[in-house]
Amino acid sequence: MRIRQWLIVMLTALMAFAVGPVAAQQPVKVTIFVGLGTGTSPTQVTAQRALEQKFNSQHTDIQIEFLIVPYSEAGQRLITMITGGNAPQLVGPIGTSTIADYLDAWADIDAFIKAENLDTSDFYGPTLEINNFGFKNVGLPLGIYPSFIIYNVDLFDAAGVDYPPASYDDMTWDINALTETAMLLTLDANGNDATSPDFDPENVVQWGFDDSWIGTLGRMVFWGPENGGRVTTPDFRTAVVNSPEWQQGLQWYADAIWEHHFYPGRPTDIATYEAAGVGSPLDSGLVAMFHTHTWYLGELRDVLPDLPFQVGIAAVPLNQKGQRIARIHADSFVIPEAATNKEEAWYVMKWLSSAENIEEVCLIYGCIPARASVAESYEARLREVFPMIDFDPIFAAIEYLDNPHHETWVPDRPRVNEVLDRISEQVQQGNRDVTAILDAANAEVQQILDAYWARQGG
């Protein structure tokens, strides 16, 4: 009996010793790699540190740290971390093109979304498709950069031409109306516009329209190709660069430069820009209308006080099919496939894009939140910074984004884009045989696709 009692006492003591005081569990660290896109300016660094402190003060089980790397070093640094077994848990904010170029490196988040039946109804519907490549979904919508036309009000007033409409309900504003307006706003050194028989195309001093801050694919998606911004069939095996819509779009581009002269694309036109020594076509005062995205507002904020003219915002016009296609850019965070602690990374991704935090995050990066519920409050903040800007057409453009997106994944995307950008370069150099240009480009892209699928085993 005594032995039994002694054993009970000893076992109880041993159990107490074994269990002892429970050590506090260390929080999981989620490293957020910043540097492949925006986020590296001094003000952004400070704001991200504040966001880091906010999250960490609210959580004991997860702690985040922004690892901010200069853009010039970021690519190699990330590769080194991944190959060295030290992948960050999140990478961002990065654009769709960067995500697509390294698509194999990112984890698919579909399983997370389905496991908790995540409510995505607050995100603008079209934005849910941007990072969903059909076979892989890599990121929640975060920030978007809708496109719009910003115009020089003073040049319109001087020419006595009506302003382009801001409303997407105005069905008179189509590509033909834009062309006519642009020609009226294009002037030679003697003040003749591009519709005048006396117009001198060798002495242009003012152009009507510019869309030079985008690649060939971004320009051509406006024309409504069957496959949208993807230059292949849905199975990614057949090139469709020489589609009827690309033919129409490239012909319009060539005519705008070489026949109607309202688009500054010739080498002499570009030299005039460079001689002006300004940051953008609009800043120069040499262009009446500039097609751009909301990321341009960051530069505009810096130069706007010194611009000697007023600006207005217009809707993107209807294309030749009567469609509205207002291309868009987007930033997201992604989870590297090689990362540890993916569930915690997923939690932080949701936190960053949540209705409670997305405004603060987008204010850091200069994007528009992809959630409809915060549109009104965020627009109010933008109006404080840009009281002269009409944001209605900018927010309205979100519903007309290009899908598939013009920065979406295709096999060997960087090489495909090199081929596509040479299309525009040939036109700018004076080659106006658009059929020959597109047929040759289509053949090149097809070779790239065939080689890619051969490497994959067919």
Is there a single domain that holds both residue 318 and residue 206? yes
Decide if 256 is inside a domain: yes
Is there a single domain that holds both residue 91 and residue 62? yes
Q: What is the pLDDT at residue 16?
A: 36
Q: pLDDT (tens digit, 9 = 90+) per residue, 146-158?
A: 999 999 999 999 9
Decide if 22 is inside a domain: no
Q: Which is more confident, 161 or 14?
A: 161
Q: What is the pLDDT at residue 92?
A: 93
Contact 258, 329 (CB under 8 A): no
What is the number of structural domains in the chain?
2
Decide if 159 is inside a domain: yes
CA gap 40, 356 in Å, rounded: 24
Q: What is the 3-state secondary structure (H, E, C) of 329-356?
A: EEEEEECECCCCCHHHHHHHHHHHCCCC
CA dihedral 32, 33, 39, 40 (to 10 degrees): 130
Decide if 10 is inside a domain: no
How is residue 205 written in tokens?
């001093």
Q: Which is more confident, 14 or 169?
A: 169
CA gap 186, 183 in Å, rounded: 5
Asked if the model's pLDDT at residue 8 lies above 60, the reply is no
Q: What is the pLDDT at residue 19?
A: 39
Q: pLDDT (tens digit, 9 = 90+) per residue, 336-358?
A: 999 999 999 999 999 999 999 99
CB atoms within 10 A of CB 440: 17
pTM score: 0.89
Is there a single domain that holds both residue 151 and residue 136? no
> pLDDT band at residue 267, thresholds of 50, 70 and 90?
confident
Residue 106 carries which side chain, given as an amino acid letter?
A: W
CB-count exposure of residue 458 (10 Å: 0-12, 13-18, 19+)? exposed
Handedness of CA 70, 71, 73, 78 (dihedral sign): positive
Q: Which is more confident, 366 or 50?
A: 50
Is there a single domain that holds both residue 411 and residue 285? yes
Q: pLDDT (tens digit, 9 = 90+) per residue, 223-256?
A: 999 999 999 999 999 999 999 999 999 999 999 9
Decide if 71 is inside a domain: yes
Is there a single domain that holds both residue 263 and residue 162? yes
* Average pLDDT of span 267-280: 76
Is there a single domain that holds both residue 277 and residue 210? yes
Contact 425, 440 (CB under 8 A): no
CA gap 444, 416 in Å, rounded: 8
CA gap 376, 369 in Å, rounded: 11
Domain harbouring 241, CATH code? 3.40.190.10
**Domain final position from 400, 416, 447:** 400
How is residue 422 written in tokens?
């040479």
Is there a single domain that holds both residue 261 and residue 272? yes
Is there a single domain that holds both residue 129 and residue 165? no
Q: What is the mean pLDDT of the chain?
A: 91
Is there a single domain that holds both residue 288 and residue 311? yes
Q: pLDDT (tens digit, 9 = 90+) per residue, 9-42?
A: 333 333 333 334 444 579 999 999 999 999 998 9
Least confident of 79-83, 189-193, 229-233, 294-298: 294-298
- CA-wise closest residue to 362 among 38, 106, 58: 38
Is there a single domain that holds both residue 163 and residue 46? no
CA gap 127, 140 in Å, rounded: 9
Decide if 8 is inside a domain: no
CB-count exposure of residue 64 (10 Å: 0-12, 13-18, 19+)? buried
Is there a single domain that holds both residue 232 and residue 334? no
Decide if 7 is inside a domain: no
Decide if 245 is inside a domain: yes
Q: pLDDT (tens digit, 9 = 90+) per residue, 410-451?
A: 999 999 999 999 999 999 999 999 999 999 999 999 999 999
Is there a single domain that holds both residue 426 and residue 299? yes
Query: What is the residue range of 96's domain?
Result: 28-145+329-400
